[in-house]
Structure 1
Amino acid sequence: MPYVDIKITREGASAAQKRELIAGVTDLLQRILGKNPATTVVTIDEVDVENWGIGGLPVLEHRAIRAAAAAKGAGQ
């Protein structure tokens, strides 16, 4: 029985988007590994952005730095 835990930041993923993720992951496991969809479990954990970090920084700081770098690169 496959078990997949998807972690995303809590930023407004709709019920329809979550349904699509669950269906897509289930389909992928069936197509690639031959797993039975009836016994495939998919959970989605939403994490507050203040509890998510990338590269040693809170995610919002990390995004701000990336956006500033991209803006700087676009202005050259």
Structure 2
Amino acid sequence: MPIVTIQVTREGTTPGAPSITAEEKAALIKGSSELLRDVLGKPLESTFVVIEEIDTDNWGWGGLPVQEFRHRRAARTG
């Protein structure tokens, strides 16, 4: 039973609003399931897909919260 986890950042969205539409989520689920079927021979009905929407304050980059990392990078290249 394969389990696929897709994490999508919520960048550019209103707090509390979904970052991707229901149609986009359905396409991700379908595409991921079909990929596992085509590559590994896994039946569609045995594949689980989990989509997580991650707020930007809940992830980091380069050892820093992502917003701080971007601020510092912009200051260096500015």
Aligned residues: 69
Residues 2/58 of structure 1: CA separation in 2 closer, same or farther (3 Å cut)? same
So what's the TM-score if we normalise by structure 1?
0.74
Could you list the runs of 5+ residues in structure 2 that have no partner in the other structure? 12-18
Q: TM-score, normalised by structure 2?
A: 0.73
Structure 1, unaligned runs of 5 or more = none
Matched position secondary structure for 2:53? strand
Q: Share of identical aligned residues, percent?
A: 46
The aligned amino acid for 2:60 is G
Query: What's the offset of the Cα at 1:10?
Result: 2.1
Q: Aligned-pair RMSD on alpha carbons?
A: 1.9
Aligned residue among 48, 56, 61 for 1:49:
56
1 or 2, which has the higher helix percentage?
A: 1
